[in-house]
Structure 1
């Protein structure tokens, strides 16, 4: 299966993730939803946050130039909510689940009308699967 198929079928195709991307742990883009543009500096800050979340806890997480409020993190996951979900400029984004595997970083944005937990299960499940295959 291609990386793009994981984004299209296993993440966005579930209806629980509005847009998604998969990056290498070096920040290189492997696959993404059409029009989903995470800047290199944004993904590098996210990668660093898996080791130390102090920066995003204090200053927020930025993806596509939008500020997300850091909610919590675990050993391999970061959860954040869009700061202003009422603005039409945010196209219905509610929040994001970020998962780190051995070799990949998964980003799964969910819409305001999708329960965060539903989206999180989808992204975390793909992360678990990839870890099990060595990725």
Structure 2
């Protein structure tokens, strides 16, 4: 791999659009050099994109991703960075667990409504069958 890459090369490598990389640039996640009007990305930029994508997969917000990446650049010791990352992960896990609980509650409600609908259909079918028998007997 070269020391520097173009936006197209990075986009291809990470499976993202050049627009996504420009978006991250506009939010300060990467800061490429310019050569003749072209963006030239360093190893540092590549690492920051890799970390941004990892944060995105974990469901972190853009602000959280930026904070963590900036900390990566400035952290004198790794422990403060790791503690911060653990805090962000704990918050994300708690949010996902709450979403899971909400989804499970809604699924239980759906099952209950489905059961009620089936029971009502069976009752309607039974009533309709009874009417048909009575009609046939009265003839």
The TM-score with structure 1 as length reference comes to 0.29
Larger Rg: 2
Q: Which has the higher contact order (CA 8 A, sep 6+)?
A: 1
Structure (1/2) with the larger strand percentage: 1
The TM-score with structure 2 as length reference comes to 0.28
Structure (1/2) with the larger helix percentage: 2
